[in-house]
Structure 1
Amino acid sequence: MSATGQRPLKVVKTDAEWREQLTPVQYQITRQHGTERAFSSPNFDSKLKGIYKCVCCGRSLYSSQAKYESGTGWPSFFQPIEPDAVMAVEDVSYGMVRTEIRCADCDAHLGHVFPDGPPPTGLRYCMNGNALVFEED
């Protein structure tokens, strides 16, 4: 947040800058809308307390308090840390209609949201662990 209480402008980088900043796996997931294998990502089953941030821009996205074991093999959350931390985009790839979730600050592909989560929201934000950086409390 800036001194005026407003979010900074969107993070925009060239493809070369993203490639230099990110590992090949992080780049493939966040910039090319990839998906990691289930049960392979960092922190998918972590029980530590803290904040999950965007690997591309550092925006705080999810609290460990909203994390739950979905059994899918990906870090799953029932809500973002702030309503405007992420944005939803229709995804019609692979012959399906899904809701893609992107970082609101840098458009990084994070994962998808599904309507089969726990209370209080009933949502499952199924994220790629390689798109997130965990900061322990």
Structure 2
Amino acid sequence: MGIFDRNKSKKDPKAYPVQKPEEEWQEILDPHSYHVLREKGTERPFTGQYYLNKDTGIYECKACGNEIFHSSKKYDSGCGWPSFTEPIRPEAIDVQMDYSHFMIREEILCGNCGGHLGHRFPDGPKDQGGIRYCINSVSMDFKKEDEKA
């Protein structure tokens, strides 16, 4: 195992409110979502179901239902993944350093279950804080505003 394989072999040491055995995560998530959320994978750019979504509503963690982003903070960054300027509330996400793939990045995790959502970069809209949250569609579900109960 090399230094850059760290995230594939170690579990995040933080104790999240929602924890399940890996077998249970495999039962409730489709294989692609499991790979992204639990194994820190990614989806191919420009292929995610929410990349071009313009509907109004809330993006939730697909693994646990935690509300993570509101559509009003979504914008087209051109990167190929859904991009947001900020989470719905600070504690909705957790940030940790990611040294995989010969890069240094800030990984975004669900603040409720620790599932991998994507990464955070300092190249967002300057008038909105300058941060881009680059998120995998397969790590989220979307609830239209009129569907929220």
Q: Normalising TM by the smaller chain, what interval?
A: over 0.9
Moved over 2 A (4+): none
Q: In structure 2, how many angstroms separate the alpha carbons of the residues matched to 1:121 and 1:52?
A: 20
**Which of the numbers 119, 128, 132 marks the counterpart of 2:136?**
128
Cα distance, 1:95 vs structure 2:
1.1
- Normalising by the residue count of structure 1, what TM-score does the alignment of the two structures yield? 0.92
- Greater helix proportion: 2
- Once residues 23 and 121 of structure 1 are traced to their aligned partners in structure 2, the CA distance between those partners, rounded to angstroms, is 34
The aligned counterpart of 2:117 is 110
Equivalent-residue separation in structure 1 for 2:23 and 2:129 (angstroms): 38
The residue identity in structure 1 corresponding to 2:30 is T
Q: What count of residue pairs does the alignment treat as equivalent? A: 129
Cα deviation code 1:94-115 (max 9, x no counterpart): 1110000000100000000000
Report deviation, 1:73.
1.0
Structure 2 residue 113 is the aligned partner of structure 1 residue 72: no
- Distance in 1, matches of 2:129 and 2:112, equals 23
> How much is the aligned-residue C-alpha RMSD, in angstroms?
0.8
1:84 Cα deviation after fit: 0.9
SS in 1 for 2:91: coil
Which residue number corresponds to residue 108 of structure 2? 101
1:13-92 matched pairs, under 5 angstroms: 13-92=20-99
SS in 1 for 2:123: coil
